[in-house]
Amino acid sequence: MVKFFRNSFQKLRLAVQLIFTALTNGYIVGFLQGKIYQGPSKKICLPGLNCYSCPGSLGACPIGSLQAVLGSPKFNMSFYVVGFFLFVGALLGRVVCGFLCPFGLVQDLIYKIPFFKKRKNMPGHKILVWLKYVMLVVMVIILPMFAVSAYGISDPWFCKYICPSGTLFGGVPLIAANEGLQQVLGGLFIWKATVLVGILLWSLWIYRPFCKYLCPLGAIYGWFNPIALSKFQIEKDACIDCKKCKNVCPMDIPVYAKPNSAECIRCGKCIQSCPTECIQVSLLSGKKKVSAESEKTIL
């Protein structure tokens, strides 16, 4: 049973991604009529980067919700939004990125297309990974809080100007189903469409470039990876230092030394590659089997 699970892990992960995306975006009427679902479940945040404006979405986007709170005229930090990030982050960390994010699924599928010579990373990868934290601080927090109109209202800057998931799952379906929207398209949509196309083309070449370098939600969940209930542990006595885990890791992490790196999306390829099965999934904190020195740096 364990061997079957190890050998079938990637198929199981893909199945979870497809099923979760279908279930959480299952309001088919919305796609047909070009209308956004407004039912009671819309008050609940979905864990991944799932746009509120997607016609089929049954929930809200956590990044959009955070910006809405920070940019409101009567700023009052929502205990729900903060609690959501704390709960999901502490429970799963970036498991969300690997299993429950629809735009992560899109990038996974595009990378499988046999086009371009594939690379794991961009040149300057170790510096570029910090861009998502800049995106979080500037576009999600600072600008919504301080770049406000005369009425004290701020735009959701990341959602409005950057988010490719919103354009793909929200903007494109709504425009396709509404002739009225098609008549008023302007520079903003052209810009967002350009960003989306650029990231999709980028995904043909680099594995999950948006997740690696630009996603503010991944930046938040990454902070929780070392302390989340779901994490990886290394049986140091069994590890033969073969580096196979790093060689297969699409995020280019030395898993043998940093199993709970903030960049790890828990895809499980390292587990499948390990010849001694020394990489274990821990659902409780347990006793760490990785040296303290190797866990000082999370990137």
SS3 string, 6-72, reads HHCHHHHHHHHHHHHHHHHCCCHHHHHHCCCCCCHHHHCECCCCCCCCCCCCCCECHHHHHHHHHCC
What DSSP designation does 279 have?
Answer: E
Q: List, for residues 3-59, the tens digit of each pLDDT value.
A: 655 668 899 999 999 999 999 999 999 999 999 999 999 999 999 999 999 999 999
- Listed in sequence order, the residues at least 6 apart from 288 whose beta carbon sits closer than 8 Å to its beta carbon are 233, 295
* Inter-CA distances, 4 with 8, 260, 281, Å: 6, 25, 16
**For residues 39 and 101, what is the distance between their CA atoms, to the nearest angstrom?**
21
* Range 155-160, long-range pairs (CB < 8 A, 24+ positions): 155/71, 156/64, 156/67, 156/68, 156/71, 157/67, 158/63, 158/67, 158/216, 159/51, 159/61, 159/63, 159/64, 159/67, 160/188
Place of tokens 């046999």: 114
Q: List, for residues 114-134, the tens digit of each pLDDT value.
A: 988 899 999 999 999 999 999
Largest Cα span, the chain: 65
Look at residue 49 in the predicted model and tell me its pLDDT: 96
Look at residue 60 in the predicted model and tell me its pLDDT: 95
* Token pair belonging to 288: 């760490």
Domains along the chain? 15-222 (no CATH), 231-299 (3.30.70.20)
**For residues 67 and 144, what is the distance between their CA atoms, to the nearest angstrom?**
6
pTM for this model (two decimals): 0.89
Q: List, for residues 142-188, the tens digit of each pLDDT value.
A: 999 888 877 777 889 999 999 999 999 999 999 999 988 888 889 99
Q: What is the dihedral of CA 63, 64, 65, 67, to 10 degrees?
A: 90
- Listed in sequence order, the residues at least 6 apart from 110 whose beta carbon sits closer than 8 Å to its beta carbon are 200, 203, 204
Place of tokens 């030395």: 254
**Average per-residue pLDDT for the chain:** 89
What residues does 279 pair with on adjacent strands? 234
Place of tokens 């895809």: 267
pLDDT confidence tier of residue 294, bands split at 50, 70 and 90: very low
Look at residue 297 in the predicted model and tell me its pLDDT: 41
**For residues 290 and 278, what is the distance between their CA atoms, to the nearest angstrom?**
11
